[in-house]
Amino acid sequence: MSRSKGGVGMEENSQRGRRRILVVEAEESIRNIVSIFLSKRGYEVITARSGEVWIE
């Protein structure tokens, strides 16, 4: 998994060619907008409001 600035991590599933992105953002409306944007571009999007939530 690679990490980029802004709390977005990307992982490519080489077996299926699917791209998965983790979006971590406290503001729900921003999470939703980013999720929709990325989903429309073919990404599988996983969202979390904080890093701690994702770890649990």
Q: pTM of the full predicted structure?
A: 0.62
Q: Are 30 and 3 in contact, with CB atoms under 8 Å apart? A: no
| pLDDT, tens only, 2-45 | 444 455 555 544 445 679 999 999 999 999 999 999 999 999 99
pLDDT at 14: 46
Whether 21 and 42 have beta carbons less than 8 Å apart is answered as no
**Farthest CA pair distance, the chain:** 33
